[in-house]
Amino acid sequence: MSCNRDIPNKVISQTSFLDLDDFRTRGKLVAVTDFNSTNYFIYKGTPMGFHYELLKSFAEYSGLNLEIVTENDVNKSVELLNAGKADLLAVDLSVNSLLERQVGVTSSTGRSRQVLIQRKPNRWNTMSPKDLDKSIVRSRSALAGKTVYIQSGSSAAECLRQLNTQPGGKITVIEVPFETEDLVSLVAKREIDFAVCDESIALVNTGYYPVIDSKTVMSDEHSLAWGVRRQKSEKLTALFNNWLESYKSTENYSLLYSKYFRNSWSNHIIKSDYYTLTTGKVSPWDMYIKSFSDTINWDWRLLTSLIYQESRFDPDVVSFAGAYGLMQVLPATGRTFGVDIKASPVNNIKGGVRYLRYLQDFFADRIPDEKERIKFILAAYNCGEGNIIDAMKLAEKHGKNPLLWDNNVAYYLLKKTDPSYYNDPVVRNGYCRGNEPVNFVSEILQRYSEYKYIIPSGKDRPW
């Protein structure tokens, strides 16, 4: 779980009072969460994390589509919530009276405490536990006169402020706008001496930095909760609380908690070249994906999402239909564009991108809106442009907009499994399993939206 957060004592105007019925009318729930090595991150192209998986499970339970916004500054997260730009604050908040004046709170999502982050001495691995304890800070009072760094807005700040009201020497507290994991790294690199953070974050990161000690407890254990708007979120809060209380008693929850907090797997992820938060890398093919994206003026993260969807970055995967490699290109398609798509992974990307360029040209005049056009291109990449034209003609015939994807052309592409539709005179390409391209578009764009919050782009793109 992430650093516990306390809400600053300021009034934020609430301008939007939506509740569950409104979310269902709108079709989605917007959640804001933080990204770090436990809550939300990307590993080998896959969005993961304890909070991420909880949100996905709740969205599935509630029947809502999920949109995730990331923000590591708790102050800004609360502003997003209370301004109506997010509906659920999926950040571990310390339950206290100050918090409850600023946001509504859910049932407890767990319990945690604050711990001190410090370096072990040289040759620590040859010392006995007793000698190690003598050489480092093992009591709160021993921090008197020392400087401790904390993430601004975290409950570590309140913890240290309370310590400074007690008799004894004062602790110099410096709040910085860094993610907690950055502070742990700074301690490990000897750039600062002390930091305070949530125990679960510390445990994951001490596996990555063996020189770090996190056994000195700085606060009592306290309840954690997520946040909702105080006004008119009663139905959402009730639904979430009912789901959470039930879900926490399941084996799935126990497995999920263990997955992120009770095994060494998290340490392996943090050390990986493809732990995107620290390396910016998604796959071994990033360099080529970026280069080929430039040739079609795409955001490389969008092409990455497509390739992940097609192959999970496996350059040797072959589909039942004979599509091959990273971009699942048929050999005949590769030959059409002058590329041997089996010669190398780079050639496979080249062949797939050339097909995408053809589809861009094909839809350039047909779909004027760039953001809509990308949906048609992706769908055509999956099932061919002919099936998309059929669905556009069906949409137009039945009074829908042939230039819009969601609930219009996508709807009639799904209908192409029905003989009364695929035998319609306006249809030229017959039967199509429309759920495949419709899901293909949805999943790629959903993953792309998640990538955009974590993976740096480097360039602005139309989409």
Which of 322, 323, 352 lies closest to 337, judged by CA?
A: 352
| DSSP letter, residue 86 | -
* DSSP per-residue string spanning 410-427: HHHHHGGGSHHHHTSTT-
- Residue 11: the pLDDT is 36
Q: Is the pLDDT confidence value at 207 over 90?
A: no
Indicate if the pLDDT at residue 3 is higher than 50. Answer: no
Paired sense of beta strands 65-70 and 28-33, if any: parallel
| Pairing between β-strand 88-94 and β-strand 28-33 as defined by DSSP bridges | parallel
More confident residue, 269 or 142: 142
Q: What are phi and psi of 90, to 5 degrees?
A: -90, 65
Q: By the 8 A CB rule, do 72 and 5 touch?
A: no
Amino acid identity of 157? A
Percent of residues, the chain, with pLDDT higher than 90: 60
- Whether 223 shows a pLDDT value over 80: the answer reads yes
Mean pLDDT of 317-346: 94
For residues 406 and 409, what is the distance between their CA atoms, to the nearest angstrom?
A: 7
Q: What per-residue confidence (pLDDT) applies to 17?
A: 60
d(CA 24, CA 37): 31
Number of Cβ within a 10 Å radius of residue 369 = 12
Candidates 1.10.3720.10, 3.40.50.10490, 3.40.1360.10, 3.40.190.10; correct CATH number of 20-105+225-271? Answer: 3.40.190.10
* pLDDT of res. 230: 82
User: Per residue in 234-257, pLDDT tens?
Assistant: 999 999 999 999 999 999 999 998
Question: Left (φ > 0), alpha (ψ -120 to 50) or beta: where does 29 sit?
Answer: beta
Coil, strand or helix: which one is 329?
Answer: strand
Provide φ and ψ at 35, rounded to 5°: -115, 130
pLDDT given for residue 258 in this prediction:
86
User: CA–CA separation, 92 vs 343, rounded Å?
Assistant: 49
Rg (CA), the chain: 26
Beta bridge partners of 47: 42
| Same fold? 20-105+225-271, 286-454 | no
Q: Where are the alpha helices (DSSP H) in 40-91?
A: 50-62, 74-82
Q: d(Cα 49, Cα 267) in Å, to the nearest integer?
A: 13
Q: Is the pLDDT score of 294 beyond 70?
A: yes
Q: How far apart are the first and last CA of the chain?
A: 32
| 32 strand-pairing partners | 69, 89
96-100, 200-204, 302-306: least confident range: 96-100
For the chain, domain boundaries: 20-105+225-271, 114-219, 286-454
**pLDDT tens digit string along 18-66?**
788 888 888 889 999 988 888 899 999 999 999 999 999 999 999 998 9
Q: Find all residues with CB under 8 Å of 153, minimum gap 6, and list them.
A: 5, 6, 8, 73, 74, 75, 175
3 state SS of 31: strand
Choice among 96-105, 296-305, 335-344, 395-404 with the minimum mean pLDDT:
96-105
What is the three-class DSSP state of 91?
strand
Closest by CA position to 64, among listed 239, 238, 302, 230 = 239
Confidence category of residue 364, pLDDT binned at 50, 70, 90? very high
Per-residue model confidence (pLDDT) at position 462: 47
Please tell me the predicted confidence (pLDDT) of residue 96: 67
Kindly give the interhelix angle for 345-364 and 385-397, rounded to the nearest 10 degrees: 30
CATH architecture of the region 286-454: Orthogonal Bundle (1.10)
Pairwise pLDDT comparison (231 vs 118), residue with the higher score:
118
What beta strand segments (E) does 50-155 contain? 65-70, 88-94, 104-112, 114-119, 147-151
Rounded mean pLDDT, 86-109: 81
Backbone phi and psi for residue 157, each to the nearest 5 degrees, phi listed first: -65, -45
pLDDT, tens only, 385-429:
999 999 999 999 999 999 999 999 999 999 999 999 999 999 999
Residue 117 burial by Cβ neighbours in a 10 Å radius (0-12, 13-18, 19+): buried
pLDDT of residue 8: 43
- Kindly state the percentage of the chain with pLDDT values over 70: 93
114-219 topology per CATH: D-Maltodextrin-Binding Protein; domain 2 (3.40.190)
Higher-pLDDT residue of 327, 159:
327
Interatomic CA distance for residues 302 and 290, integer angstroms: 10
Contact between residue 139 and residue 145 where contact means Cβ atoms under 8 Å apart: no
Q: Is the pLDDT of residue 12 over 60?
A: no
Tell me whether residue 56 is exposed, middle or buried, using C-beta atoms within 10 angstroms of its C-beta: 0 to 12, 13 to 18, 19 or more: middle
Task: Answer for the pair 112, 4: CB distance below 8 angstroms, yes or no.
Answer: yes
pLDDT at 280: 85
H-helix or E-strand containing 271?
Answer: helix 265-271
Tokens encoding 135: 């050489």
Max CA-CA distance within the chain?
87
Choose among 461, 14, 442: nearest CA to 228: 14
| Catalytically annotated residues | 310
